[in-house]
Amino acid sequence: MRGRPGLAPVLEQRPPGAVIRVLLITGDPRVAARLGDTLSGGNCVVERAADARIGLDRALSREFDVVVLDGQLQSGRGLDLMRRMRRARVLTPVIMLTTDGQVRDRVGCLQAGADDCVDSLTDAEELLARLRALHRRSPYRTGTVHLGAARVDVTRRVVIHEDGTRVRLTGRECAVIAVLGAEPGRVVSRARLHALIFPDRQAKSIVDTYVYHLRQKLGREVVTTVHSVGYRLGHVPFV
């Protein structure tokens, strides 16, 4: 499928009803049983990791579509694991489970790199609905982003032009494309890109640096700057 100049990028989707692969990281067997039953009945395949070490190892495999992470894992080490996953460039969408519903806890989860956070006592059906919504927006659900005259193979980190020419991307360059392409036409803030892709770098200007690199490789139109808001994915023009 090819686009035309000026059209929004398209992210290929799985067929309706496709199974969602979920990694549930919790040391609480009651939480695992309650959520596991509902998720498994909602067209999800659930694998549980009972501690941070196993959870990180499984997340690094990138075999999952969504991660559900218990913030109380091993006496509150959930936030640390969340940060470690993002530092390891795991961009899989993550829903974190909190315990008391305080604003500061939810903010802490999001600042650590989570995509959503809910109270651990939230109805499992609501969690399933949130999980499905995250999966629909996930940049890694198929691994292909279309950019007008080119397409990006996210898994192999390569851009394939209409004439067959290939351009290699670094892991973080490709991550920028994938995140921007998750919701075609939507503007993503610099802060959001920084939290997801560069949690190990303090300066948010690192986002601008990588946008510059992408424009050098693929042309200025590949990423559009929306001043005072953020960035939006553009297109690679036809020649």
Express as a percent the part of the chain with pLDDT over 70: 87
CATH architecture of structural domain 143-233:
Orthogonal Bundle (1.10)
Where does CATH 3.40.50.2300 sit in the chain? Answer: 20-137
Q: Which residue spans of the chain are classified as CATH 1.10.10.10?
A: 143-233
- Compute and round to an integer the Cα radius of gyration of the chain: 18
User: Do the Cβ atoms of 26 and 97 come closer than 8 Å?
Assistant: yes
pLDDT tens, 15-26? 444 688 899 999
C-beta pairs of 125-132 under 8 Å, 24+ apart in sequence? 125/38, 127/35, 127/38, 127/39, 127/68, 127/95, 128/38, 128/39, 128/42, 128/44, 130/95, 131/20, 131/22, 131/39, 131/44, 131/66, 131/68, 131/95, 132/20, 132/42
**Digitized pLDDT (tens) for each residue of the chain, 239 residues in all:** 333 333 334 434 444 446 888 999 999 898 888 888 888 888 889 999 999 999 999 988 877 889 999 988 877 688 899 988 888 878 788 999 987 667 888 888 888 888 888 888 888 888 889 998 888 766 555 567 888 889 888 878 899 998 889 999 988 898 899 888 876 678 989 988 888 788 777 788 999 999 999 999 999 999 999 998 899 999 887 65
**CATH architecture of the domain with range 20-137:** 3-Layer(aba) Sandwich (3.40)
The answer, as to whether pTM is greater than 0.75, is no
